């Protein structure tokens, strides 16, 4: 039983389908995220597929500050993803609100609304840093005890 679980957890890391959500970023981070997903880096080599649908996603890549308008959208997307799932917050804004943190409409970083597993700092982070963050996330996908915010134990 334990062996099967470990095997399935390994497969999870081999087929991470990712969803990208721009949570009010200045688009600097999004350009870098999308650069990672271009054919140049060929992420399909690692089984990564960029899906447009939270129902199919394992990994949520979010960038930008959370504000009062989009916090519901973010929470909604997160709750629509079936467990196990990993959230990677990207950029200074996603981590803490960044340069916008004192604006009247800003709630703060992504982790004010949903549990975050990996933080990738930078303004914007380089594609290499984003890939590093995703790899870190994949490690957590393999080791269930390290994951945050599960709906139930996987």
Partner 1 sequence: MTETAVLILCGLIAGPVVGGLVSGLDRILTARMQSRIGPPLLQPFFDVVKLLAKEPLVVNVWQAFCAYCYIAAASIALVLFFLQSDLLLIFFVQAVGAVFLVVGALSSTSPYSQIGAHRELLQILSYEPLLVLVVVGFYLETGSFKLTDIYAWPHPMLLKLPFLFIVLGYALTIKLRKSPFDLSTCHHAHQELVKGLLTDYSGPFLALTEIGHWFEVVLMLGVCTLFWATSWIGMAVLLAVTYFLEVLVDNVTSRMNWRWMLSYVWGVGLTLSLVNLIWLHQG
- Footprint of partner 1 (CB under 8 A): 8, 11-12, 14-15, 39, 42, 44-47, 49-53, 55-56, 58, 80, 82-84, 151-152, 154
Selection from partner 1, ligand SF4, none that 97 binds (CB < 5 to 8 A by kind) is none
Least CB distance to ligand SF4 at residue 128 (A): 16
Q: How far is the CB of 122 from ligand SF4 (least distance, A)?
A: 7
Q: Pairing between strand 66-67 and 106-108?
A: antiparallel
Which parts of this chain interact with ligand SF4 (CB under 6 A)? 25-26, 28-29, 63-64, 91-93, 98-99, 123-124
* Residue 123 site contact among ligand SF4, partner 1, none (CB < 5 to 8 Å, cut-off depends on kind): ligand SF4
By beta-carbon proximity to ligand SF4, the closer residue of 64 and 137 is 64
C-alpha pair distances (Å), 78 with each of 20, 128, 149: 11, 25, 10
Exposed (0-12), middle (13-18) or buried (19+): which is 133, by Cβ within 10 Å? buried
Q: How many CB atoms lie within 10 A of CB 113?
A: 19
Selection from ligand SF4, partner 1, none that 25 binds (CB < 5 to 8 A by kind) is ligand SF4
| Alpha helices by DSSP H, 2-151 | 2-14, 28-36, 71-80, 91-96, 127-142
The structure tokens 């629509």 sit at 80
Q: In angstroms, what is the minimal distance from the CB of 86 to partner 1?
A: 13
């Amino acid at each position: 039983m334990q062996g099967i679980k470990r095997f399935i957890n390994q497969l999870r890391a081999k087929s991470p389908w990712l969803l990208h959500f721009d949570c009010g970023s200045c688009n600097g981070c999004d350009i870098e995220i999308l650069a990672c997903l271009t054919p140049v880096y060929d992420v399909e080599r690692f089984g990564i597929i960029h899906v447009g649908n939270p129902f199919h996603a394992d990994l949520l890549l979010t960038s930008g500050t959370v504000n009062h308008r989009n916090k519901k959208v973010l929470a909604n997307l997160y709750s629509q993803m079936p467990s196990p799932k990993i959230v990677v917050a990207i950029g200074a804004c996603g981590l803490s609100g960044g340069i916008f943190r004192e604006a009247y409409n800003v709630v703060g970083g992504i982790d004010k609304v949903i549990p975050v597993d990996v933080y990738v700092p930078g303004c914007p982070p380089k594609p290499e840093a984003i890939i590093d963050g995703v790899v870190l996330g994949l490690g957590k996908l393999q080791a269930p005890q390290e994951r945050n915010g599960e709906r139930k134990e996987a």
